[in-house]
């Protein structure tokens, strides 16, 4: 076995250490800029008084059909009768899904989404437009869909 020069080994160690430090900085810097997303509960605080809680099955979402349940809370109260338009969008490919999601009000501020389909793995956006009472809000949810 040929012995490597000492400077090559120390250079590799330095590069490895710098890579670890850079990754740590990047990971610590990642997160929601507005502080409006709670990863543990999938709750999105849209405004001070509006929360949309999302539950995916499977979680995390996978290629194929995905079940989504949403709960809309305004001023601490569940909101029934809201209207939703949902568009799955894959920004890196510039396309959406082959199906159009349908949203159903099942009562007590809970809504189910049918026909939510992801055609490939990767980064997707779930663009949600909500219309309820006196309010209209838009939300973009970043998702990593697994293969």
Same structural domain for residues 55 and 90? yes
Q: Is 66 helix (H, G, I), strand (E, B) or coil?
A: coil
pLDDT digits (tens, 9 = 90+) for 87-129: 999 999 999 999 999 999 999 999 999 999 999 999 999 999 9
pLDDT digits (tens, 9 = 90+) for 23-46: 333 333 333 333 354 545 578 888
Q: Say which CATH number the domain at 128 has.
A: 2.60.40.1930
Indicate the pTM of the whole model. 0.71
DSSP 4: P
Question: Cβ atoms within 10 A of the Cβ of 43, count?
Answer: 16
Same structural domain for residues 4 and 56? no
**In which domain, by residue range, is 3 found?**
1-30
Same structural domain for residues 121 and 53? yes
Nearest to 86 by CA among 60, 107, 63, 112: 112
Its sign, for the CA torsion 12, 13, 17, 23, is positive
């Amino acid at each position: 076995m040929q012995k490597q020069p000492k400077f090559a080994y120390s250079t590799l160690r330095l590069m490895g250490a710098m890579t670890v430090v850079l990754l740590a900085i990047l990971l610590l810097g990642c997160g929601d800029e507005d502080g409006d997303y709670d990863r543990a509960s999938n709750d999105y605080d849209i405004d001070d008084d509006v929360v949309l809680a999302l539950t995916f099955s499977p979680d995390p979402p996978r290629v194929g059909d995905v079940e989504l349940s949403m709960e809309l809370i305004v001023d601490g109260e569940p909101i029934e009768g809201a209207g939703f338009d949902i568009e799955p969008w894959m920004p890196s490919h510039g396309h959406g899904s082959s199906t159009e999601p349908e949203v159903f009000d099942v009562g007590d501020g809970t809504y189910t989404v049918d026909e939510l389909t992801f055609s490939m793995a990767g980064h997707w956006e779930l663009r949600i437009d909500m219309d309820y009472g006196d309010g209209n809000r838009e939300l973009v949810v970043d998702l990593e869909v697994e293969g």
